[in-house]
Amino acid sequence: MSEGKQIGVVVQGSLSEGLVAKLACPDAVEDMRVGKFVVIEGLQHRYFSLITDIELHLSDQRLLADPPSNPFVRQVLAGSATYGTVAIAPMLMLPRGGALGAEGPQPVRTIPGHFSAELDAGDGDFRTVFGADDQEHPNHFSIGMPLDNDVPLCLDLNRFIERSNGVFGKTGTGKSFLTRLILAGLIKKDVCSNLIFDMHSEYGWEGSSETSSSRTVQGLKQLFRTKVLIYTLDPKSTQTRKASFDGEVRIAASEITVEDVSLLTKELGLSPTAPETLSLLERRFGDKWLPRFLDMEPAELEELALNTGGHVASLGSMRRKLMRLKDKPFIDWEERAAAEGSWESLGDAPRSSTHGVVRDMLAAITAGKHIVLEFGAHNDMLSYLLVANILTRSIHRHYVTQKERYMATKDPAAQPRPLMITIEEAHKFLDPATARDTVFGTLAREMRKYDVTLLVVDQRPSAIDSEVLSQIGTRLVCLLDDEKDVDAILGGISGASQLRGILATLETRGQALLLGHALPMPVTIRTRQYDADFWAEMRGYGDERSRGEEIDSKMARFARL
């Protein structure tokens, strides 16, 4: 039996439309909340359910024309002539009196009978459905609490990393804090490594509080120390903020492909046909096509126009727009770091600075570390799109090679460590025009085929390609007020119309609707506080010195491969 008190009885309903329960106490109407977790006690099963609507009813329609004004009369009528009901969506069912079994609660396939008791869910009900952050559930992590209970509500992180996931919500709803909570859980439980493209320097050393302009909050590096490495595109900015960093990122010009530039078409103001012309340059000049094109004199542009069938004025315009890349100090035009190592065997071929950065990152990832890439002053969308796409493409290429090697040899040592890549402004990478051509679109569609998944953070889910969005396994949704965004989030989800009402009632900050692969059923939560108590708990995850020695040993082994 559920330990919660009875709040009503089922009076009607259907499997497809949900149930209606009459409230036992007329005064309980204002205690009900859309999204509240309740339990229905049937004769054979317990049904774990959500309240999706609240209604008032009259048994005598004459009261509409002549509502009573006397408080005593209103009290006499309450519960008989006037009463409240709640619409309930059953989500899971569990046999009454039986053991949980290995599979736990199952999807609803029937409904309880008339006058079955509707009970307030107790702490035990939440643990039955969502598990607990304890020794019995070592990879569960508390992400918040239900709206009307103070019991921790947990995500199953093992299931969470099986597919790509998303954090959505309009600006100012706390997406960054919710993302930080999830990342902290993944690091503490050590279920995967993380690569975080930190556009606004919020995740590494410290971030700014969304509730106070003068406060800062601790970043992942402060919480986990040696487990988190900070790489930066802008060392000066990092030092100005009095934060340490573990490496500087430089991108070799030879690593910039036409695919990368195609992703920047809107940012650079290029014409839709520009990628076709650039492909001709790439075929003619190889990986040096970009510096070669930018260094061309007017006479060379005319010759190029003759050879490619292009227009010299169009080529000149394209060249001027691409010259913006020359202003990016993190791009290595001279290939000064050619002697650095690569993540793959390159023989006697030249080695670029990009290869060296990727090798260092992969060594850290293999050793179980987590990487935050800060952009510093280079936090414009042009830099963000370019760097994130180039580095992710290189890392994905390594994972494909490593996974195929593992499949061929079945050697456990060759099994890649799961990696989750976090990107903000995800719609810029995954919009319908570019999702099919970018590595992020490939990762989202392939899910965990090569042990690399995405955590996308975005305020405009409607701008993400629908095919990619359909592959997002778990969705953590803060308040959205644009109908197109709500439609995109709930598209293809069972019970979308009921969840739409729940989503509309979220508060501006501190609440989220969780649904998808890592959760047995949708649930609305108050997100966990990212405060001093949370920081103290995260810092106590294990013996820092012994863990650091283990990581250093793994990195040394990777370097010898």
Task: Report pLDDT for 25.
Answer: 87
How many structural domains compose the chain? 3
Q: Do 320 and 373 belong together in one domain?
A: no
pLDDT at 115: 95
Query: Based on the domain organization, do 379 and 493 belong to the same domain?
Result: yes
Question: What does the block give as tokens for 85?
Answer: 């009901």
C-alpha span between 223 and 220 (Å, rounded): 5
Please tell me the distance from the alpha carbon of residue 487 to that of residue 473, in angstroms, as a whole number: 16
Residue 525 lies in a domain: no
Q: Name which of 14-23, 27-36, 153-162 the model is least confident about.
A: 27-36
Q: Are residues 106 and 118 in the same domain?
A: yes
Whether residue 113 is contained in a domain is answered as yes
**Residues 92, 200 within the same domain:** no
Kindly give, in sequence order, each residue whose CB lies less than 8 Å from that of residue 504, ignoring residues fewer than 6 positions away.
486
Q: Provide the pLDDT confidence category of residue 353 given band limits of 50, 70 and 90.
A: low
Q: Is residue 297 helix, strand or coil?
A: coil
- Among candidates 50, 52, 173, 266, which has minimal Cα distance to 482? 173
Q: Per the domain annotation, does 311 fall within a domain? A: yes
What pLDDT band is residue 339 in, cutting at 50, 70 and 90? very low
Same domain, 352 and 213: yes
For residue 37, the surrounding DSSP H or E stretch is strand 37-41
More confidently predicted of 103 and 455: 455
Half-sphere exposure (Cβ direction) of 61: Cα atoms closer than 13 Å: 0
Instruction: Identify the residue whose tokens are 């009307």.
Output: 148
- Pick the last residue of a domain from 327, 346, 366: 327
pLDDT tens by residue, 524-535 = 999 999 988 999
Q: How confident is the model at residue 348 (pLDDT cuts 50, 70, 90)?
A: very low
Place of tokens 């965990």: 448
Q: Give the C-alpha separation, 334 to 352, whole Å.
A: 10
Residue bearing tokens 């969780």: 514
Give the pLDDT mean for 173-196: 95
SS3 at position 469: helix
428 φ, ψ to 5°? -70, -30
Instruction: Write down the mean pLDDT value for the chain.
Output: 86
pLDDT on residue 314? 87
Identify whether residues 386 and 461 lie together within a single domain. yes
Predicted local confidence at residue 136, as pLDDT: 86
Predicted pLDDT at 98: 56
Q: Do 248 and 349 fall within a single domain?
A: yes
Q: Are residues 209 and 352 in the same domain?
A: yes
pLDDT, one tens digit per residue, over 469-509 is: 999 999 999 999 899 999 999 988 888 888 998 999 999 99
What's the token pair of residue 233? Answer: 């595109």
Residue-level pLDDT at 32: 92
Residue 166 lies in a domain: yes
At 270-327, the pLDDT tens digits run: 988 888 888 888 888 898 999 999 999 988 888 888 877 778 888 899 999 999 999 9
Q: Are 144 and 444 in contact (CB under 8 A)?
A: no
Question: What is the model's pLDDT at position 107?
Answer: 92
CATH number, domain with residue 435? 3.40.50.300
Q: Could you list the residue range(s) of the whole structural domain that residue 270 is in?
A: 254-327
What pLDDT, on the 0 to 100 scale, is given for residue 555?
53
Q: What pLDDT does 345 receive?
A: 37
> Do 258 and 379 reside in the same domain of the chain?
no
Query: Does any domain span residue 151?
Result: no
Q: Is 558 exposed, middle or buried (0-12, 13-18, 19+ CB in 10 A)?
A: middle
| Cα angle 105-110-115, degrees, rounded to a multiple of 5 | 100
- Per DSSP, 116 falls in state P
pLDDT tens digit string along 383-437? 999 999 999 999 999 999 999 999 998 888 888 999 999 999 999 899 888 787 7
Task: Please check whether residues 300 and 403 belong to one and the same domain.
Answer: no
205 three-state secondary structure: coil
Nearest to 220 by CA among 368, 371, 366: 371
Q: Which of 83, 112, 130 is the last residue of a domain?
A: 130
DSSP 466: H
The DSSP symbol for 303 reads H
Does 546 lie in the same domain as 471? Answer: yes
Give a yes or no: residue 38 inside a domain.
yes
pLDDT digits (tens, 9 = 90+) for 361-382: 999 999 999 999 999 999 899 9
Token look-up 């004459």 returns 62
pLDDT score for 346: 31
Asked if residue 202 is part of any domain, the answer here is yes
Position 552 confidence tier, pLDDT thresholds 50, 70, 90: low
Q: What is the DSSP letter of 30?
A: G
542 confidence band (pLDDT: 50, 70, 90)? very low
Count other Cβ atoms within 10 Å, centred on residue 531: 11
| Residue 344 predicted with pLDDT over 80 | no
The DSSP secondary structure of 149-164, one letter per residue, reads --S-EEEEHHHHTTS-
Which tens digits make up the pLDDT trace of 51-105? 999 999 998 888 888 888 888 888 888 888 899 999 999 999 999 875 555 467 9
Kindly give the residue spans of alpha helices, DSSP state H, lying in 212-341: 220-224, 235-240, 258-263, 265-268, 274-285, 289-294, 298-308, 312-322
What share of the chain has pLDDT > 70, as a percent?
90
Indicate the residue among 297, 327, 357 that finishes a domain: 327
What value does the mean pLDDT take over residues 344-365? 65
Note whether residue 379 is domain-resident: yes
Indicate the pLDDT class of residue 109, thresholds 50, 70 and 90.
very high
Let me know if 415 is exposed, middle or buried by CB neighbors in 10 A (0-12, 13-18, 19+): middle
- In the chain, the percentage of residues whose pLDDT exceeds 90 is 57
- Determine the average pLDDT of the residues in 104-127: 92
| Structure-block tokens of residue 402 | 């490593």
User: Dihedral sign, CA of 542, 546, 548, 550?
Assistant: negative
Instruction: Summarize the confidence of residues 348-372 as an average pLDDT.
Output: 78
Phi, psi dihedrals of residue 499, rounded to the nearest 5°: -70, -30
Split at pLDDT 50, 70, 90, the class of 540 is low
Mean pLDDT across 8-27:
93
Residues 27 and 85 in one domain: yes
pLDDT score for 447: 65
Three-state secondary structure of 490-507:
HCCCCCHHHHHHHHHCCC
Predicted local distance difference test score (pLDDT) of residue 367: 93
Q: How many other C-beta atoms lie within 10 A of the C-beta of residue 99? A: 7
More confident residue, 551 or 312: 312
